[in-house]
Amino acid sequence: MHIEVVADEGELARRAADILADTIRRKPHAVLGLPTGATPKAAYRQLTERIARKEVDVNRVRAFAVDEFLTGSHDATGTNLGFFADYLPAMRRSLAIPPFSISNDEAASVVSAYAAHVGNLGGFDLCLLGIGTNGHIAFNEPGSGIDSRARVVELTKESRRAHAAAFGSLDAVPKRAVTLGVADILESRAILVMAQGASKAAIVARAIEGPQAAAVPASWLQSHADVTWLLDEAAASELQRR
């Protein structure tokens, strides 16, 4: 495990964009896992600017969203599809996202096939992740085992609250989602976890320095051979070791 602490949100975004861009330059046909949420927004903007300046060529990249809401409707407002259209439009042709309007009955088989597609490509060369305040990675909520696979999940109120603004209200946030599992994520060649702000400090410390346990799904990343935690000073403030 490598821990990299930077000064602030701006430096966090620049450094994450550096790592994404370097991965693509080293391997132009890289397979990437990408999250949504507040934390990677600025990094995606930086990467988009570099693509526009032709500093990075993503024509052969294959990217996959690590999760998606199940809305039951065709309105993309608040979904991960809508998020990536806003924050990473330069990769719209190379980015796969699970469908959000499918029924719960269809969702299990669809997300399993989605994960199998990633596996058939050799897995992720780099999987970028955020961490929820409850320790989730992708939508692997507390209680997710290290052997959990792609599946339909029930979202916690805490996770739904984090997306309330995107959907317009907490009540509008779907209660179910599909996600790649912890085991799927751990098959990545490299993992980069971003966290910023004091609100993430306690859970970051538990994930990095606490015991590996399903109560904090991000703690399972301790077992990976190549994981980097990219943190700003506030998010790193409760770590005992740096």
Please identify every residue annotated as catalytic: 67, 134, 136, 141
Residues recorded for the chain: 242
Helix residue spans in the chain (DSSP H): 9-26, 41-52, 80-87, 104-120, 157-162, 164-167, 182-186, 201-209
Phi and psi based region of residue 51 (left: phi greater than 0; alpha: psi -120 to 50; beta: remaining): alpha
Task: Compute the CA torsion angle 114, 117, 122, 128 (nearest 10 deg).
Answer: -30
- What gap in Å lies between CA 207 and CA 74, rounded to an integer? 36
Backbone angles phi, psi at 4, to 5 degrees: -120, 120
CA distance 237 to 231: 9
Structure tokens at 24: 């693509």
∠ CA 187-231-78, nearest 5°, is 70
Structural tokens at position 221:
């990343």
Question: What value, to the nearest 5°, has the Cα angle with vertex 127 and ends 67 and 95?
Answer: 60
